[in-house]
Structure 1
Amino acid sequence: MTSIRATLGTAWRRRAGWQKATIVLVAMFGVLCSGLVTLGLAAKHRYESRVHREDILGNGTAPRDEGRWARGPLNLLLLGSDSREGEPDQGVYPGQRSDTIMLAHLNAARDTATVVSIPRDSYVDVPARAGSWDGGPNKINAAFALGGASLAAETVHRLTGVTIDGVLVANFAAVRSIVEALGGITVCLPHEVVSTDTGTRWLVGCHQLDGRAADDLVRQRHNVPGGDFGRIHDQQLVVRAIAEKVTGESLLTNPGRLDRLLTTAAASLTVDEDLDLTALALAVRRVRPESLRFVTVPAVDTNLATPAGSAVRLDERRSAELFAAVREDGLDRWIAANPQASTPN
């Protein structure tokens, strides 16, 4: 452990600017470590060996052109899984839902990342899965329960038309561990949030959150402006706060804390079996917290009555334009024409 921490500290300080950029990915995904590139084979094995792998994109959802990691835009699907043991509609993956669904687009210049949040209750077409689901309309987060990350990825691919280059699935509970490993984060809220779980009230303004409080905040959607859209917004704020904390100078001089962060992140992650984490870290090395952008897929009805319960109907025209902008690497134009509100309605 001592030698690995010494290696972490030396390599981190030697290439601090470069490394700080890659560790932003930890914040974006809440899971990935940046030490894979510069810390040598021993450190690489220490973290990468903790990452779980499974066949997520084997159905042809992703290309197999390895050159895509070296050039051009990239699209990564980020899923936050949350256990809901005891629910009646458990499907093949008991009690699991992808409560956080984000499509992260890295532009061709590799210096800007845009995270597109898809509301978990979006009523979409979920493809059939033999033995568990005949296919048809359903809430998008049900795809994970019906067919795991593989069906969730196929559902997002069909909805957006976007080619998915990689999938990362994080245990939602890992938010607490990651924030604790960082020593807490500062989140500034533009609206009041009241926890239905603990009764905690966060007023408008900035708050210092430990892991327990951060975990509590990102789960709230009832006493939040905009309901689930408000929760999406708060999740984005927590991601940005983590990004700012992991790129701060204090982490650079604390190899022990850095090691705990990377170990926690790696152990919380499931990725596609063909995803090269080193190539991915290299691809995002120029991304900075200030170049992280967040948008939410537009909707026209957040209380749509369906056989699956109250759901979200996406704005067909504006959503199609957003997805086209992702495919064509033209998000600058879409964001300029569709500014995001600071507080969701």
Structure 2
Amino acid sequence: MLFDKPPAEQAGNDDQQVSERATSNPPRRRRWKRIALISFLVLVLLGGAGMVAGGLYYRSVESSIERVDAFEGVPEESRPQAVATGAMNIMILGSDTRDPDSDSGSRTDTIILAHLPKDRSSAQLISIPRDTWVPVPKSPEGRGGRDAKINAAYAWGGAPLMVQTVEKFTGVRIDHVAMVDFAGFKEIVDALGGVEITVEEGFTSRHSLNPDGRREFVAGKQTMDGAAALDYARERYAFADGDFTRIKHQQQVIKSILDTAASGGTLASPTKLNSFVRATADAVAVDNSMSLLDLSMELRHLRGGNLTFLTCPTKGTGTIGNESVVLADKAKADKLFDAVRRDAVPDILNAVK
């Protein structure tokens, strides 16, 4: 499975710096179809809407979904306590194995903390830049235990160490974990017949899926097929602020896919819905206690307009040692995540203004 906990030789040496380009051995099993980070969101937010009367069928789909021990070995005494009863916080991890920087599946290129308020009337998805410099707790194998880029936690200790690291950084208790591969979402976009994206400023991707490795994006509203949408969502070298623009583009594509799926013929067609849900379910791994059926039923009324995409406040980039890192704005981040803990949606939205 793509997101199995990496073996010891993948984790690197604690005495060496964390490098985005550090090589590591490939995972032992690769059972995942490479669909998308958005697969999890689409499955949860749209699946219930199309299957209110199809509980048995949906349970059969859920039974085929991969399960991971995301909380194995996470010491309970070190975890933050839940503050707001009924709210839910889900850590979504994504890896882009087509990223030119990606040498293996052991890094997490996308980290999202999804907050679902008690009344389930909305969802706030907070992206944490992968290069954010944070304290990483020590894994049971003795790795970590020092400051590093946040995505190093997965290489050092898999999902459990990512849970510990995100909880330590945010103070928010993680209720569930979902993991998917962002690189393969082109199949989902193509299944929808493309998605509509408004490009704010034209740019050239030099790491495209095109044979020559280039793709031109012109400013304005346009319909993108899967390959174009993937190139759009993964490009970062064309921008002065790199990963920050990439995060914004990923959020754009996620919202467009949700809106397209909800407004098109997917939900109205049993054949399309069956293919869509089955393919999506094959792409998702979740922790042992998560019920996608229950969650999708709770969230079946949500659409793109009910989602708010945020990015963890930062002070920009900097250099620590010889590493380029993202520096969190601790005061603003603390305010944001305190609002998440309290399930105070207005305060969450105001915290990033």
Same fold (TM > 0.5):
yes
SS in 2 for 1:250: coil
SS of the aligned residue for 1:98 comes to coil
AA at the equivalent of 1:301: G
AA matched with 2:278: T
Counterpart residue identity of residue 185, structure 2: V
> CA contact under 8 A between 1:31 and 1:269: conserved in structure 2?
no
Q: Show the counterpart of 1:157.
A: 167
Q: Which has the higher helix share?
A: 1
State the TM-score, normalizing by the size of structure 1: 0.80
Q: Does 1:239 align with 2:254?
A: yes
TM-score, normalization by structure 2: 0.78
Aligned to 1:18: none
- Which residue does the alignment assign to 1:304? 319
Q: For 1:112 and 1:244, locate their aligned partners in 2 and report how far apart those are by CA, in whole Å.
A: 15
Q: Does 1:271 align with 2:286?
A: yes
Offset of 1:322 from its aligned partner?
0.7
Whole-angstrom distance in 2 between the partners of 1:86 and 1:207: 26
Instruction: Give CA deviations for 1:123-179 in whole Å, capped at 9, x if unaligned.
Output: 111111133614211111121222222211221111101111111101122311211
The corresponding residue for 1:42 is 57
Report the Cα distance in structure 1 between the residues aligned to 2:306 and 2:40, rounded to whole angstroms.
11
Q: Within 5 A, what are the aligned runs for 1:214-233?
A: 214-233=229-248
Tell me the residue number matched to 1:193. 203
Q: How does 1:118-157 map to 2 (within 5 A)?
A: 118-131=128-141, 133-157=143-167
Partner Cα distance (2:197, 2:101) in 1: 32
- 1:74, distance to aligned residue in structure 2 (A): 1.1
What is the Cα deviation at residue 256 of structure 1?
2.2
Identity of aligned residues (%): 35
Partner-residue secondary structure (3-state), 2:159? helix
Q: CA deviation at 1:192?
A: 2.6
- Which string of whole-angstrom CA distances, capped at 9 and with x for unpartnered residues, describes residues 163-199 of structure 1? 1111110112231121122221111122333212132
> Is residue 330 from structure 1 mapped to residue 344 from structure 2 by the alignment?
yes
Q: Could you tell me how far 1:64 is from its partner in structure 2?
A: 11
Residue type at the aligned position of 2:123: A
Q: Does the residue aligned with 1:150 lie in a helix, a strand or coil?
A: helix
Q: Which residue of 2 aligns with 1:73?
A: 87
Pairing partner for 1:29 from 24, 41, 54: 41
Question: Paired residue for 1:172?
Answer: 182
Give a deviation string over 1:261-300, Cα, whole Å, max 9, x none: 2122111111001111122112323322211101101111
Give the Å deviation of 1:103: 0.5
Distance 1:278 1:50 in 2: 12
1:212 counterpart letter in structure 2: A
Q: Is the 8 A contact 1:62 1:165 kept in 2?
A: no
Describe the shift of the 1:305–1:194 C-alpha distance in structure 2 as closer, same or farther (beyond 3 A). farther
Task: Report if aligned partners of 1:133, 1:146 keep a CA contact under 8 Å in 2.
Answer: yes
2: CA distance, partners of 1:196 / 1:51: 35
Change (3 A) 1:245 1:116: same
What one-letter code is carried by the residue in structure 1 that aligns with 2:311?
T
Contact 1:162 1:323 in 2 (8 A): yes
Letter in 2 for 1:184: G
Q: For residue 51 of structure 1, what is the amino acid of its counterpart? A: I
Q: Matches of 1:329 and 1:237 in 2, distance apart? A: 25
Q: Is the 8 A contact 2:205 2:231 kept in 1?
A: yes
Aligned equivalents of 1:191 and 1:113: distance in 2? 28
Partner of 1:12: none
CA separation of 1:201 and 1:86: change in aligned 2, threshold 3 A: closer
Partner Cα distance (1:153, 1:220) in 2: 27
Pair 114,311 (structure 1): closer, same or farther in 2 beyond 3 Å: same
Matched, 1:54 2:68: yes
SS class of match (2:71): coil
Per-residue CA shift, 1:24-67, capped at 9, x if unaligned?
A: x966735544366531323421x2233110110232488999xx
Shift in Å, 1:107:
1.5
Q: Is the 8 A contact 1:74 1:107 kept in 2?
A: yes
Q: What 5-or-longer segments of structure 2 have no aligned partner?
A: 1-36, 209-213
Closer, same or farther: CA 63–314 of 1 in aligned 2, 3 Å:
closer
Secondary structure, in 3 states, of the residue corresponding to 1:320?
helix
CA distance in 1, matches of 2:238, 2:101: 23
Aligned counterparts of 1:87 and 1:131: Cα–Cα separation in 2:
26
